[in-house]
Structure 1
Amino acid sequence: MRHNYEDIGLFPLRLLLLPGEQTTLHIYEPRYLQLIMECVTEHKLFGIPYQTKTSLSEFGSMVTVMQVLKRYDNGELDILVECTQNFKINQFQGKSENKLYPAGSVTLIHEEENMPSADLMDSMKSYLETLLDKTVTDELNEFFSFKQIIKSLNLNDEEKYKYLHFPLDKRNSFLRGKAKFMTLLIEQEKKVVDQFYLN
């Protein structure tokens, strides 16, 4: 199921959030101050297209302003935003009509409620046991979702970008590889600490 948004305010950043993730932003440019104030007063969402190192990507994060954290004397703002859904950009306009900020047309990506694969769950169990240094009971598996796994593995923006490109089966193998890598990293760190104390 997909839903189109026309003429949504856009704020390109080197930032990609997945649903439920929050971050703080410092707003100082007049065009984006106009956008944020409209969103706050009219309770509107805005989009953050993901800016890669070289170009504007087709993916982005639809966000809502949760709170204005600070208002500065010069008009600048610190805000807390939360991602509600991801989207694909259909059209990007450098400046919308009668507005300072960019706008465009986007299609929301509705995540399917699929459970992670058994292989991914096994890798996550190993990762958590290595991280916490104790046995993780099978009952914990019931609480896992893709959202919780991504949060646990602390994916960076580029990894989230890759994740959004993948179909379900590839998402499972991608996250499984990340979990195995993180497990190996923790094991190596523990060895270094052990050797340090032995010496």
Structure 2
Amino acid sequence: MTNFIPIFPLSLIVYPDEVVNLHIFEPRYKQLITTCYAESKPFGIPAVLQNKLTDFGTLVEIKEIVRIHDNGNMDIVVKGTSVFKILEVINELPDKLYSGAIVNYPANEMQPMYAYLKPILQQIRDLFHLLKVEKQFKKPDETLLSYDVAHHVGLNQEQELSLLGFYKELERIEFLRRHLAQVLPLLHSMDELKEKIKLNGHFKSLKGFNL
């Protein structure tokens, strides 16, 4: 399917089914939110990377306008629905301050694959333990997608965008597996280093080496 959508470019990667809180303060985007909310229409958040608009983004729907401040600024809640690819940007729209784009929606697998994701979840929880972070996923493990955990594994923005470009769940899971395979050994090494630093200066009880 190909259609036109208003766009709100951000240095932010939003994944399908992800809920995000946004503070809206620019006049053009206050107009965009007001229009989309009144007409019950979604808008797109294409990713901006290194000050450049990328070709990929996520369609979002407005779940709630939480607050409209005295100056017209807004606090809103949006939820990601579909990944899109930009075909053409329309910079100027009649009577609008914001821009739009012609986009299509690549076929995207979004069925849970728990048998493959299960070891990744264990690695993520190992990561949380090493970082002394307490986090709980908001769904039962069996229903989780790679999208649900991608923001919790320490990906940089470029890596998050790369994940958005994979349309098969197994490819996304493999991407996360490879990332964790690199990160976890480093954190284990750091943990060992911290223990060595703590022990420095203490009396050591060591067994001698037999020659």
TM-score range, shorter chain: 0.7 to 0.9
Please list every run of 5 or more consecutive structure 2 residues that lacks an aligned counterpart in the other structure.
Answer: 131-139, 201-211
**Number of matched pairs:** 189
Residues 160/195 of structure 1: CA separation in 2 closer, same or farther (3 Å cut): same
Is the CA contact (8 Å cut-off) linking 1:123 and 1:180 kept in structure 2? no
2:29 is equivalent to residue 32 of structure 1 = yes
Structure 2 Cα separation of the partners of residues 34 and 194 of structure 1: 54
TM-fit CA distance, 1:91: 1.5
> CA offsets per residue over residues 41-79 of structure 1, 9 Å max, x none?
222111111112142111011112222233222212222
1:28-177 residue pairs with structure 2 within 5 A?
28-112=25-109, 113=111, 115=113, 118=116, 121-129=118-126, 131-132=128-129, 142-166=142-166, 168=168, 170-177=171-178
Seq. identity, %: 31
Partner secondary structure for residue 105 of structure 2: strand
The AA in structure 1 aligned to 2:195 is: D
The TM-score with structure 1 as length reference comes to 0.78
The TM-score with structure 2 as length reference comes to 0.74
Structure 1 Cα separation of the partners of residues 66 and 93 of structure 2: 27
TM-fit CA distance, 1:153: 1.9
Structure 1 Cα separation of the partners of residues 155 and 19 of structure 2: 14
Please list every run of 5 or more consecutive structure 1 residues that lacks an aligned counterpart in the other structure.
Answer: 134-139
TM-fit CA distance, 1:181: 2.6
Is the CA contact (8 Å cut-off) linking 2:66 and 2:75 kept in structure 1? yes
Structure 1 Cα separation of the partners of residues 156 and 118 of structure 2: 21
TM-fit CA distance, 1:197: 4.1
Residues 148/79 of structure 1: CA separation in 2 closer, same or farther (3 Å cut): closer
> CA offsets per residue over residues 77-103 of structure 1, 9 Å max, x none?
222222112110112111212322101
Structure 1 Cα separation of the partners of residues 64 and 171 of structure 2: 36
> CA offsets per residue over residues 88-132 of structure 1, 9 Å max, x none?
0112111212322101211124421363774x6545434434644
> CA offsets per residue over residues 13-50 of structure 1, 9 Å max, x none?
11111112232222222221111001222221111111
